[in-house]
Structure 1
Amino acid sequence: MVPSTNPTSTVIFKSLIAVKAGNAIIFSPHPAAAKCTVEAARIMQEAAECAGAPKGLISCITKPTLAATNELMKHKLTDVILATGGPGLVRAAYSSGKPAYGVGPGNVPVYIHESANIEKAVELIIESKTFDYGTICASEQALLVDESIKEKVVAEMTKQGAYFLNEEEKRKVESIILVNGGLNAKMVGKSPQVIGEMAGIEVPSEAKVIVAEETGVGKEYPFSIEKLSPTLAFYTVKDMQAASELAQKLLDAGGLGHTVGIHAEDEKVIEAYTIDKPAGRIIVNAGTTFGAIGATVNVKPSLTLGCGAIGNNVTSDNVTVNHLFNIKRVAFGVRQMPKKEESAQNEPALTK
């Protein structure tokens, strides 16, 4: 299953891990990005054939429908499903009767502690959030900033290309984030300027990311949800404890098991803040987009990020080639079970 937010990179990554594990793979694209996905699969198959692979090793449904996807998931030759997409798709994969690796939403909260290198932290966050216009599920969604450094962080973010909305502009952008209770697909992966046009405001041409100060969490506060675009919620917190409680609320609202970030130089703060976070990836002093996928930290490189049982997934791992083959263990006897004493054999197993 391939999402519309990453219709080509997902194909490339899943093709590599599937073939490396000795499997064929068939893709079911999102209808909104079918042409991209079909072309990416064609290129991967062509490259595989040039390397000696058989025809059909990497295939793709050319006319995606719900019926076609369900048929593919339940087909007798389907051994395992890699489901990257929305909650409905993941539930369908888990209900197919076949083994499935699913993923969950991000809604990643990132705490900037007063001990952080502010200039570097902001640089990493902007770089991370603007990659692919924020469509990576591990990208930052909300910044939680100590009040003692708020003014410095705001100034540095503005210097590096963030555009802070005033209250009127915020209300206008909020009005387009949700449609019928869900994220507005038309703003996903769009530039700050396009989002501004949609909302009826003017965003400067040099702006890299739109930022709105926020205080609440939930759908009544649209900036607090996963937005998959270059938009950020900005929260001011009293201290680490307040940041920790707020991060939990944001994860509860739609990101359990996925990713949490922190920028700090105080190692005791890092340990105290991260130890109880319900997330499979805790990214420290790095952008969460590149950190979570394994590009800038030492976790397994992957574009399929599990959220574990707390996120209704079967694994919290970064799904890799190791998840796509069976391990056969040939085990030789190396010891015998200890023999019981004759007297012990005559004793009853249970005593009153």
Structure 2
Amino acid sequence: MTEQVLTEDTALQELGTKAKQAAKVLRGLSATEKNEALSAMMESLKNNEEKILSANKIDIENGKENGLTDALIERLTLTEDRLAGMAEGLDQMTKLVDPTTQSDGQWVNDQGLKIGKVRVPLGVIGIIYESRPNVTVDASGLCLKAGNAVILRGGKEALNSNQAIIEALQEGLAKTSVPETSIQLITDPSRELAAKFMKFNECVDCLIPRGGAGLIQAVLKQATVPVIETGTGNCHLYVHESADLEMAKSLLINSKTHRVSVCNALETLLVDKSAAAEMLPELGKALLEAGVEIHGDEETCNLIPEATPATEEDYSQEYLGYEIAVKVVEDYQGAIDHIDKYSTGHSDVIAATDYQSIQNFLNDVDSAAVYVNASTRFTDGEMFGFGGEIGISTQKLHARGPMGLEALTSYKYVIEGSGQIRE
């Protein structure tokens, strides 16, 4: 088992060097060899279930003692079903097409050069994340399948869980042609080491933060390694005056309460003024029955007496809990203006039957995922058919939305000639 306790710069350097060496090996492996490694990781994860769950219980107990919120405890918690789902995710990855076996095109130029554009791994990917041990498995599997080595830096609240998971995954890799050092974990939770990791350009090719707004902004501000910004999710549901009320109610409750602690959960409800008197009391009743606290503007509070007055901050909030911001908007343009101002560019949805309003919404809202009459909870790599995800990118360069295997690759040009020189 690889020693990974990092307390000094030399240890971080050693870990990075091993990752670079592993990335060179991965670049030359076949899709079959990588799939065999994923299968071995899956079996080892299953075989170490008791050990992983025991480690997770320690993290949960520590988290409660340290005052972690219910939302963070929910993210942190592993169960037999969740572990089985993580193992199943690795199995599903074996069935996905390896993007590094694909060509993005081939052509011959005027000088007779045959030019090809082929997919290649990014190299060494660093992941900085909070609370969720399932990220350890998802990130490890996806990075490996795309031919990348990965260095993981999870939060201290999940340290025992992550260590147990990494040991299980490396135990599986030890039985294959893939180096154990393809997957490594930083076990020193200090911010000082994290800051050095963010500037580890010599060994890390790309950094992906996964967590709350605070973590993501900290990485964006401190990192010199290229960063892919993943999603803080202030997701909106706009109920247009033409919406079917029962459908809107169903979308609202599913988007908000199906799993409140994730970035694709709904955080803001907008309702057309012309439909508010009819629809908002029913929508509010459904939210209250589901245990959701409502923060609303003046008109919302008039129609839903249980609502509390909303502040400006409420409309910018990613609650990740049983709270929601509600606003009555003047009309369609009022909804678009609100979304433009407050949306984080993650997932926004319109509930409507009016064709033109639907088409306008799809064109006017510039988010990574824009929905018509469907729950925001579908913004997920597995739901999109990617077999999992490394995160949900809310930026526009390189990757956007749920990031599957292709987002973990770049490309290079290969040129074949027959002695051509440029004159």
TM-score range for the pair, normalised by the shorter chain length: 0.5 to 0.7
Contact 1:107/1:250 (8 A) holds in 2: yes
CA distance in structure 2 between the partners assigned to 1:59 and 1:295 by the alignment: 24
CA distance in structure 1 between the partners assigned to 2:173 and 2:248 by the alignment: 40
Flag structure 2 segments of 5+ consecutive residues without an equivalent.
1-126, 300-309
- Are positions 1:10 and 2:135 aligned together? yes
Q: How does 1:78-117 map to 2 (within 5 A)?
A: 78-85=204-211, 86=213, 89-90=216-217, 92=219, 95-117=222-244
C-alpha deviation, 1:52, in angstroms: 5.8
Q: 2:334 aligns with which of 225, 235, 242?
A: 242
Aligned to 1:328, what secondary structure does the other structure show?
Answer: strand
- The structure-2 alpha-carbon separation of the partners of 1:265 and 1:12, relative to structure 1 and needing over 3 Å to count, comes to farther
C-alpha deviation, 1:265, in angstroms: 2.0
CA distance in structure 1 between the partners assigned to 2:267 and 2:297 by the alignment: 12
Structure 1 residues 105-124: Cα deviation after superposition (integer angstroms, max 9, x where no partner):
22122201122232223223
- Are positions 1:232 and 2:315 aligned together? no
- The residue number in structure 2 matching 1:331 is 415
Q: How does 1:1-352 map to 2 (within 5 A)?
A: 1-4=127-130, 7-49=132-174, 53-75=178-200, 76-85=202-211, 86=213, 89-90=216-217, 92=219, 95-132=222-259, 134-157=260-283, 160=286, 162-163=287-288, 207-214=290-297, 220-224=311-315, 225-251=317-343, 255=344, 257-288=345-376, 290-294=377-381, 296=383, 302=389, 304-308=391-395, 315-332=399-416
C-alpha deviation, 1:95, in angstroms: 5.0
CA distance in structure 2 between the partners assigned to 1:48 and 1:119 by the alignment: 50
Contact 2:240/2:351 (8 A) holds in 1: yes
Structure 1 letter corresponding to 2:255: S
CA distance in structure 2 between the partners assigned to 1:244 and 1:9 by the alignment: 35
CA distance in structure 1 between the partners assigned to 2:325 and 2:277 by the alignment: 16
Contact 2:386/2:405 (8 A) holds in 1: no
CA distance in structure 2 between the partners assigned to 1:294 and 1:239 by the alignment: 33
With the length of structure 1 as denominator, give the TM-score of the two structures.
0.68
- The structure-2 alpha-carbon separation of the partners of 1:269 and 1:328, relative to structure 1 and needing over 3 Å to count, comes to same
Number of equivalent positions: 282
Identity of aligned residues (%): 25
Aligned to 2:228, what secondary structure does the other structure show?
Answer: strand
Higher percent of residues as helix:
2
Post-superposition, which runs of at least 4 consecutive aligned residues in structure 1 deviate over 6 A? Answer: none
With the length of structure 2 as denominator, give the TM-score of the two structures.
0.58
C-alpha deviation, 1:238, in angstroms: 2.9
Aligned to 1:121, what secondary structure does the other structure show?
Answer: helix
Contact 1:104/1:258 (8 A) holds in 2: yes
CA distance in structure 1 between the partners assigned to 2:172 and 2:248 by the alignment: 39
Deviates more, 1:49-58 or 1:27-36: 49-58
Aligned to 1:234, what secondary structure does the other structure show?
Answer: strand
CA distance in structure 1 between the partners assigned to 2:283 and 2:390 by the alignment: 28
Structure 1 residues 2-43: Cα deviation after superposition (integer angstroms, max 9, x where no partner):
433x51232232112101012221211123333344344444
Structure 1 letter corresponding to 2:402: N
Contact 2:336/2:364 (8 A) holds in 1: no
Contact 1:81/1:93 (8 A) holds in 2: no
CA distance in structure 2 between the partners assigned to 1:41 and 1:114 by the alignment: 51
Structure 1 residues 258-298: Cα deviation after superposition (integer angstroms, max 9, x where no partner):
2222111222111112312232221221111x222245567
Contact 2:399/2:407 (8 A) holds in 1: no
- The structure-2 alpha-carbon separation of the partners of 1:245 and 1:260, relative to structure 1 and needing over 3 Å to count, comes to same
Structure 1 residues 148-206: Cα deviation after superposition (integer angstroms, max 9, x where no partner):
4334534543564x21xxxxxxxxxxxxxxxxxxxxxxxxxxxxxxxxxxxxxxxxxx6
Aligned to 1:81, what secondary structure does the other structure show?
Answer: strand
Deviates more, 1:29-38 or 1:62-71: 29-38
Contact 1:107/1:226 (8 A) holds in 2: yes
Contact 1:81/1:101 (8 A) holds in 2: yes
Contact 1:73/1:93 (8 A) holds in 2: no
Aligned to 1:15, what secondary structure does the other structure show?
Answer: helix
Aligned to 1:64, what secondary structure does the other structure show?
Answer: coil
Contact 2:128/2:152 (8 A) holds in 1: yes
CA distance in structure 2 between the partners assigned to 1:298 and 1:30 by the alignment: 29
Deviates more, 1:300-309 or 1:16-25: 300-309
- The structure-2 alpha-carbon separation of the partners of 1:118 and 1:302, relative to structure 1 and needing over 3 Å to count, comes to farther
Structure 1 residues 289-327: Cα deviation after superposition (integer angstroms, max 9, x where no partner):
x22224556789535122225xxx764343222132342
Aligned to 1:82, what secondary structure does the other structure show?
Answer: strand
- The structure-2 alpha-carbon separation of the partners of 1:154 and 1:301, relative to structure 1 and needing over 3 Å to count, comes to farther
Structure 2 letter corresponding to 1:321: L
RMSD over equivalenced CA pairs, Å: 3.3
- The structure-2 alpha-carbon separation of the partners of 1:55 and 1:333, relative to structure 1 and needing over 3 Å to count, comes to closer
Aligned to 1:56, what secondary structure does the other structure show?
Answer: helix
Contact 2:198/2:222 (8 A) holds in 1: no
Aligned to 1:248, what secondary structure does the other structure show?
Answer: helix
CA distance in structure 1 between the partners assigned to 2:382 and 2:353 by the alignment: 21
C-alpha deviation, 1:147, in angstroms: 2.9
Contact 1:292/1:299 (8 A) holds in 2: no
